[in-house]
Amino acid sequence: MTITATALPKSGEADGTVKYAGIGPLELEAGGFLPDVVLAYETWGQLNADASNAVLIQHALTGSTHVARGATDEEGWWEQLVGPGATIDTNKFFVISINIVGGCYGSTGPSSEAPDGRPWGSRFPLVTLRDSTEAEARLADALGIDAWHAVLGGSMGGARALEWAATFPDRVKRCAVISVGAYSTAEQIAFAQAQTLAIRQDPNFNNGDYYGGAAPEHGLALARRIAHITYRSALELDFRFGREAQHQEKPLAAAVLGERGRYQVESYLDHQGTKLVRRFDANSYIAITEALMSHDVTRGRGSLEQALSRTTAEFFVAAVDSDRLYFPAQSRELAAALPGDVLVHLIEAPIGHDGFLTEIGQLSAQLRESFFA
């Protein structure tokens, strides 16, 4: 397999610079095929001589590869964990984050050019998390990384980390699985289906072939609203918004339904939808959401205990105590099925699932002691 030379960080290149690697064709678990896959990624720190200091950090559903500051001063999504002198000290460790296949931050996805020169659109195949792991393994090969010092992530990133440990057990020495279970439950799949259907039913979706025309922005924004409700706890929404009206709008003063004003929480969800539309592709949202729906570490591997018995990594499992998307019970189930005695660390935060982002600093000391001392 030939990997393009751009895979290797250049001498003197600033941390957090987006790079691209062509990894060749990829045969997919569900039967599809991508003839020429490109992966976008960012790195921080320097790979040591024996490549023993490499750390893979996996992004969540709509996350990017920008884990921490670097080439620009733009804040990263795990700034509390990664950087010079931080828990994952980039003076000591070589950190890499890779955009998942199907994404829209530089890796091959539905908006990418297919061999005929047109965007993949409706022709883009189903990609599973196991497929993305295979693709990332090729990039690791190109970088000379035989085994990761650690692989970690939260939410979908945690699912990707777990898949790495199960698919390539000899290549993962330590694995942190945060705010996700061993598989997507029926309820999680149901929430996901509502989101993808919101996009598909947008009049502008055109079966996914909307490039060059109006994008299905309303459907994508609605999908984000549905998702965001699951990312935040009822307590947090009540505390922040309650039943208050948005500014001077009057929710209970309108001659007809379509003219009423909004509650503050409605305005908040509108804002979240608009933000995502500005930075994300609707087809990629579907592709990655369906990849997360595919998450099941047991697929083709027997029971949960049998599937995890193949792993050799040291595990760190954590959950957000108020999470109502990936309940802490799922983390406890995962920990109980792993070899050895694995504790479940708790992030205490009223915010809900998004605590794995906003409150990740609570795990700094435990992660440093366990993985990065």
Residues serving a catalytic function are 155, 323, 353
Angle in degrees, CA 116, 126, 186, rounded to 5: 160
Tokens 């598989």 found at = 183
The HSE-up count of residue 293 (CA atoms within 13 Å, CB side) is 18
**How many Cα atoms occupy the beta-carbon half-sphere of 80 within 13 Å?**
12
Report the distance separating Cα 7 and Cα 11, nearest Å: 13
34 φ, ψ (degrees, to nearest 5): -115, 120
Query: What's the token pair of residue 49?
Result: 């001589």
State the Cα–Cα distance between residues 228 and 321, nearest whole angstrom. 17
Q: Please say whether the beta carbons of 371 and 174 come within 8 A.
A: yes
Phi and psi angles of residue 342, each rounded to the nearest 5 degrees, phi first: -105, 125
